[in-house]
Amino acid sequence: MPLAPLVEPAAALPPGEAERAARQLRLLQVGEVGQRRIRAARVGVLGAGGLGSPVLLYLASAGIGTIGIVDDDVVDASNLQRQIVFTVDDVGKFKGSVAADRIRSLSPHTTVIEHREHLTPENAEQIFADYDLVIDGSDTFSTRYAVADACAALGIPLVWGSVLQFDAQATVFWSTPSSGQPVTLRDVFPVAPAPGEVPSCAEAGVLGALCGQLGGILVTEAVKLICGIGESLLGRMLVLDGLGARTREVPLVATAPPTDWVPDEGSQDAATAARPTHVALSDLESLAPETLLDVREPDEFARGTIPGAVSVPLGEVLSDAASVPLAGTVVVFCQQGPRARAAAHALTAAHPSADIRLLEGGYADWTEWSRA
């Protein structure tokens, strides 16, 4: 569904901008008016790392009028494999300052605002209050939820992406869209994973080129929102499989959180209580779950699955988790883990009394373990 342009156009383009952005102006969907909207836009970027680097470069090249960079980190040699805004000469320098200089060299009329501070739930709304939209390029769950909650409270769109190893996801979260149904991060992932539940890029690795691919997608979504063109990813999760060279979509549907449940005194808080537990591969046979749920796509299921599993793709789970039939102990799995976590959180929210667990390592690890 088309969305209204997010930004009113600037009165005019600065001198030389029409020549610099000539190829973009040639696009019928953008044109001179769209380029003036881009010129007037204020975009906040959380993180100048693996995703933030290509995002900042493409925002600058597009001619965004104001770009805010939220990052208090310094460049490390290990960043250079994927954080393409930096060079070896930048090691030890503040990322935001280096990125700001690079932006100005690409787009001299762009105003760059550096926020050299760590984003927290306490300062997130204040930092992003003056921006039209935010792109999240962060890599910690506490920061991701802080920016998502701030954007939801401010009513501004959050262009969201995540990358790990060879897998990436992208979507748009927006609590007050001009049309269509609102969807926020907490509708899809109600609570943050527990510390250590999901490995970081430092632990699991990441393909640098995939960061660039995803960063380009995120900027494309931002430009579409600013100009009011094309079809936004709002309500859809784009999933990229770098190793398989496949792209697929998962529909996202907002789910209202329960309002009548209060944890007993002394019990876990609501976030912790809603978090599914884990099952090790070595314990799966002795656990003998009544429901073994494979949330991969049907073609993946057809190529092989764990004996006794039933196929309910992630998109179906997120569309209507309450209608998924569950019995006894439920173990959810996907290829490696990310889709299963999303499904397990949605099922836990929809079936609060069910015993829902996550299979560690997913089908990929199970195939290796079963051969041993």
Residues noted as catalytic: 201, 334
DSSP string, 30-88: THHHHHHHHHH-EEEEE-SSTTHHHHHHHHHHHT-SEEEEE---B--GGGGGT-TT--G
DSSP string, 10-46: PSSPPTTHHHHTHHHHTSTTTHHHHHHHHHH-EEEEE
Q: Return the bridge partners of 112, or none.
A: 67
CB atoms within 10 A of CB 245: 8
Question: Tokens 């944890």 — which residue?
Answer: 263
Beta carbons of 201 and 214 less than 8 angstroms apart: no
Rounded distance between C-alpha atoms, residue 37 and residue 24, angstroms? 13
Rounded distance between C-alpha atoms, residue 133 and residue 149, angstroms? 13
Locate 231 and state its tokens. 């079809």
Locate 198 and state its tokens. 């999901």
Beta carbons of 33 and 40 less than 8 angstroms apart: no
- Burial grade of 256 (CB within 10 A; 0-12, 13-18, 19 or more): exposed
Q: Where are the beta strands (DSSP E) in the chain?
A: 42-46, 66-70, 111-115, 133-136, 158-164, 167-173, 236-241, 246-251, 277-279, 291-294, 310-311, 329-333, 355-359
Residue type (1 letter), 315: G
